[in-house]
Structure 1
Amino acid sequence: MPANRSRLVHVVLALYPRRVRDRYGAEIAELLTHSPTPGRDLADVAWCALVDRGASLTMSHARPHLLRLTGLLAAPLAFGVALAALASVAVAVLGLLEGFGYRVGYRLADVVIAASVVPVAVGTVWMARRTGRREHIAAPIFVVPTALALGIVAVASLQYIGEALGETWWATLMSSLCWYAATFALATGGAALIQRARTGAAWMVMALGGVAILELTCTVYVLLVHRSYGLPSSSAFGAYPVVITGIDPGLVGAPAGQLAEALKGLPALLTVCTVFTLTLVITRAKRQHATPKSASAAPRTS
C-alpha cells in the first residue's frame, strides 16, 4: 500500500470515536487499503466518521469541556478580584500604620501595593500546575491564551469594573490582542523546546519572553493613550517594570504616578494571566512529553 494512502487511512480512522475505532478500525482499514476507488471511499468514510462523531457528542460529553472553557473565560475576572482584594488589604494595613504614628511614604506605599501581585501570581502557578495535571484541555497553547484574552476584553467592557483596567477601552483591546499574539507564539516555542527534552531552556525562554511580552503590551497601551494623560511618548518604554514594582528609578520620561494612573490595573492582571498561561502550557507539554516514555517503559503483558 502506498505510504500516502496509509497516512490518509490513519487520519480518517482518527475521525471516528474511540469505541468505533476499537471495534471496527481494523476492518475499515482493510477495506480502504484494498479499495479500487480509494479517493471516493476515503471521502465517504470520512463523512460517515464525522457524522458518527457528531452523534456521539452528547451534552454529557460536552459538559466538561464547556465547564473548563467557562472557567478560563472567567479567570481574568477572578484574578482581578483577587488583586483588588489584596491591594485593599495593603492599603488598610498602611492606613493602620499611619494611625499608630508610623510615617509611610508614598514610595513605600506604592511598593507595598504593587507587591500584592506576588501572592496572586504564586496562587496562579499552583492553579495552573493542578489544572495541567488533572484537567484535559484540548490544544492548550491556543485555547488558554485565547480564552484569557477574551476574558480580559470582557472585563474591560464591564461598566465601572472595566475602568480598573484603563479608561480607554480600545487601547485595552489592542493591548490584549498584542498580548494574545505574543503569548501564543511564546507558548508554541516553549512547548517545542520541551518536546525536544530541553525543559531548562524552555523555562528560561518562557520567563524572559513573558517579561518581554508584558513590557511590549504596556508599551502599546501607553503609546495609544499617552496624549490623553499628558505623557511623553518616550515614557511608554520601560513603563511595565516601573508600574509593576512601584519603584521609579527615573529611567522613564514620566513620574511613576502618572504611568500608574494611565495603566491602572492592566499590568498586574496581564502579569497574572501570563504566569498562569505559561505555567499551564509547560505543565501540559511536560506531561505529554513524558507519556510516550512511560508507555514504552511499561512491561508487556501477554
Structure 2
Amino acid sequence: MAAISLISLVTISVFSSILSFSNALSVNYYHQTCPNVESVIAKVVHKGMINDKTVPAALLRMHFHDCFIRGCDASMLLNSKGKSQAEKDGPPNISLHAFYVIEHAKKEVEKMCPGVVSCADILALAARDAVALSGGPTWDVPKGRKDGRISKANDTRQLPFPTFNISQLQQSFSLRGLSMDDLVALSGGHTLGFSHCSSFQNRIHNFNNITDVDPSMDSSFAASLRQVCPMHNKVKNAGANLDSTPTVFDNKYYKLLLQGKSIFSSDQALMTSSRTKALVKKFATSQEEFYEAFVKSMIKMSSISGGGTEIRLDCRVVNH
C-alpha cells in the first residue's frame, strides 16, 4: 500500500457548510500547538494496515460506534474497570479490534505534543485515513473534540442494529441530527469489512412463517451464505465479507445492493423507501457522487458534540 501522499485521492472541501453542527471544532485547531499531528497518525494507520488488512474497516466502525453513543468523545476507547463494563465490552462491540492502532498513534503524538491532542480527535483522523488509504476520498477533519469520562456497555444498545428496518434506522439517525441522505451515504462504509454469521442469520434461516430465506435476497447469494453459515453454525469466526472488494473503499456496496446481494437487513432496508432507493441508485452509478456525499456525512457525524471535558493522556483510562 502506498503512503497516503502517493495515493490518488479525491479531496472534497465541504466542511464549511456544516461546521455549525459543532462550533467548537476547527480544521486548523492544532495548527500552532501540534502542526504535524495528522502525518504522524496517518503513518501509524498505514503501518497497521500493512500488518492487518482489516484495520481500516475496524477504525471506521470504531469511530461510528463512538459518535453514535455519547457523541464523538472517545468513550469507545475506555477500558472496563472492575464490575463497570465499558462500551468496548458491550455486545455490538465485542468483535471490534485494532484498538492498538489508536493507542500507538496516541503514544507517538504524546511524544511530539504532550497533553495537547485528544483521543477523540485521533480516532476521527484515523477513520479518515482508513478510508483514504483504502482508495477512498480524503477530507479536512474539523478538530478540537474533548475526551469523555463515562463509558457504559449498556449504552451500546442505542446503536443501530443490522436487523433494523427503514423506520428504525431513520429514528436512530434522526436522534443524532442525521438525515436519510446521511443514512444512505454512511451505510456506504459497509464497502469495507466482514460480518459474523450472527448479524445476518435472520435473513438466511427462519426468515418468516412462509420462507426460510429473505425473498429480497438473490437466491444464489443466499445459498452461498447458508453454506458458510449453516443453521447451527459451530465455526467461531464464520461469516462473509460486506461486499466483493472488502479492503477497497469504492461504490461496489451500492451496486451489489441493487442486485439483492447485501448482507444486513439494514442494508436491504435502504431499498424500501423511494428516497433512499433513489440515492442507492445514484451512488451505484457514480462513485464520485458517493464520495462527495460520504465526506459531507462523515464530517457531520464526526462533529456530533460529545460531553468530553479533558485530553486523556492514555486513551484507555480517564485522567486522575
- Provide the TM-score with structure 2 as the length reference: 0.23
Kindly indicate whether structure 1 or structure 2 has the higher relative contact order, using CA contacts under 8 Å at least 6 residues apart: 2
Q: TM-score scaled by structure 1?
A: 0.24
Larger Rg belongs to: 1
Q: Give the number of the structure whose residues are more often helix, by fraction.
A: 1
